[in-house]
Amino acid sequence: MDITAAMVKQLRDMSGVAMMDCKKALVECEGNIDNALDLLRSNSALKAEKKASRIAADGGNSNSRK
């Protein structure tokens, strides 16, 4: 199935995800927007979980004033 720019835009408007990620999801789901949206949601959850496990530093650097 051909993925049109309108399909990518519709998915982007629904999800707020980057255009290329939307296109990849549509290609993987053979143009089914509902399945692509579910795929993007599951991928976003995995990315969020991965980032949440990181240790947050204080953000200071050696040049900061005291």
pLDDT at 64: 57
On the question of pLDDT at 6 being above 70, the answer is yes
- The whole-number pLDDT of residue 54 equals 74
Q: What CATH number is associated with residue 39?
A: 1.10.8.10
In this structure, of 31-35, 55-59, 60-64, the range with the lowest mean pLDDT score is: 60-64
Q: Examine residue 51 and state whether it is found in any structural domain, yes or no.
A: no
* Tokens linked to 49: 């979980």
* Percent of the chain that is helix, strand, coil (3-state, to 5): 60, 0, 40
Report pLDDT digits (tens) over 41-54. 988 866 777 777 77
- Number of separate domains in the chain: 1
Give the structural domain span for 30.
5-44
Q: Mean pLDDT, to the nearest integer, of 2-17?
A: 93
User: Which tens digit of pLDDT belongs to each residue from 26-42?
Assistant: 999 999 999 999 999 98
In the chain, what is the straight-line distance between the N-terminal and C-terminal CA atoms, in Å?
60
Is 23 within the bounds of a domain? Answer: yes
Contacts for 17 with CB less than 8 Å, ≥ 6 apart: 11, 25, 40, 44
Residue linked to tokens 């255009």: 19
Q: Is residue 15 part of a domain?
A: yes
Contacts for 49 with CB less than 8 Å, ≥ 6 apart: none
